[in-house]
Amino acid sequence: MGIQLGIIGYGGMGKWHAENAPRAGVQIAAVCDIDETKCLEAEAKGFRTYRSAEELVADPAVNTVILTVPNYLHKEMCLLAAKAGKHVITEKPAALNVQELDEMEAACKKANVFFTAHQNRRWDKDMLTVKKAYDEGLLGNIFTIESCLHSANGYMHEWHLYRKYGGGMLYDWGVHLIDQILFMMPGVKVKTVYADIKNVLHEEVDDYFKIILKMSNGITVHIELSTYILKYKPRWLAGGDKGTMIVENFACDGNVYRTGKLLEKLPPQITETEAGPTRQFAPVAPGGIVTEPLPEVHSEWIDFYKNVDAVLNGTAEPAVKISEVRRVLSVMEAAWKSAESGDAIHFE
């Protein structure tokens, strides 16, 4: 039997899973929400509905649940589903902290059910383009990676505005951006974590953060997110000793830049520029920098569900392991600790 999915929470992501999981062969067995309007909306699309999670997990037609409820409910819903013998997929963040995640994992192990998190942005093409450069040495020895995500939308929405519900941008997007870096460099340790976390427009929850990770392979990673920076930086910058990669956006616009002829020594004369006299930062002569197209990568978010199906059939290892999810939450906890103390946190 394939995945017979029960969706707990029919909000934005619940609707996304209902529409897209079937593209991977998943059967939507049932949907539940405490909001009557959302249930009626699901029924209009032909889904069997329940008004409570307890009713849904009691349905024998459901063998797997996806938790698309506010973050603070993930632990409660996971324990409920595991006790009912259902495999559990949580939206990110899987839990509000490492302690919660450990309890959830223990419950799933006790019930002998599969447990994973929908870290769908491991299948983002922009990140996989940078990972390809890292894996294949396309930029030589990489010394810095910048992952930036900016928005001019300003205010967050709904429950994301409130600390008690697990709101804020570190929970919403930080978990993705950190996971992407750790996924990009398997086996590489995080030596230190430094973070600056701010509430720019929101009283209760963070809407800006800058996280600096010093990795054991010599790469310094800069992760920055803001809901209120009005002119966007490139989504990714990766600098190596053989070139620079710029990925402008999720659509993977950008280029690889290389030196046409690397200067072995600076010219003897000083150049007058708008910034004043300089040699090191004088304009590059024509032909000094050449551009190449970004490497192509191919992926789809629904590959996550294909992997879950293969895991349940015993033919694959989980693409998103709970040990990896735990490490991301640990980095997030170190980031909060760093932001509070103002110091870098020694991590691994």
pLDDT at 246: 98
Residues of the chain short of pLDDT 70, as ranges, are 261-269, 271-273, 275-276, 278-282
- Please write down the HEC assignment for all residues of 297-334: CCCCCCHHHHHHHHHHCCCCCCCCCHHHHHHHHHHHHH
pLDDT score at 25: 95
The angle at the Cα of 319, spanning 315 to 322, to the nearest 5 degrees, equals: 110
pLDDT at 156 (0 to 100):
83
Q: Where are the domains of the chain?
A: 4-118, 122-252+330-346, 259-293
Q: How far does Cα 35 stand from its chain's mean position?
A: 28
Q: Which class is domain 122-252+330-346?
A: alpha beta
Which residues fall within 8 angstroms of residue 301, CB to CB, at 6 or more apart? Answer: 20, 120, 123
4-118, what's its fold? Rossmann fold (3.40.50)
Query: Exposure pattern of 238-260 as b/e (b: 16+ CB <10 Å)?
Result: bbbeebbbbbbeeebebbbebee
In this prediction the pTM is 0.94
**What value does the mean pLDDT of the chain take?**
94
Q: How far apart are CA 205 and CA 198, in angstroms?
A: 8
What are the tens digits of pLDDT across the range 53-109?
Answer: 999 999 999 999 999 999 999 999 999 999 999 999 999 999 999 999 999 999 999
Phi, psi at 184, each rounded to 5°: -65, -30
**What are the pLDDT digits (tens) for 165-187?**
999 999 999 999 999 999 999 99
Structure confidence at residue 152 (pLDDT): 80
> What pairs with residue 66 in β-bridges?
7, 89
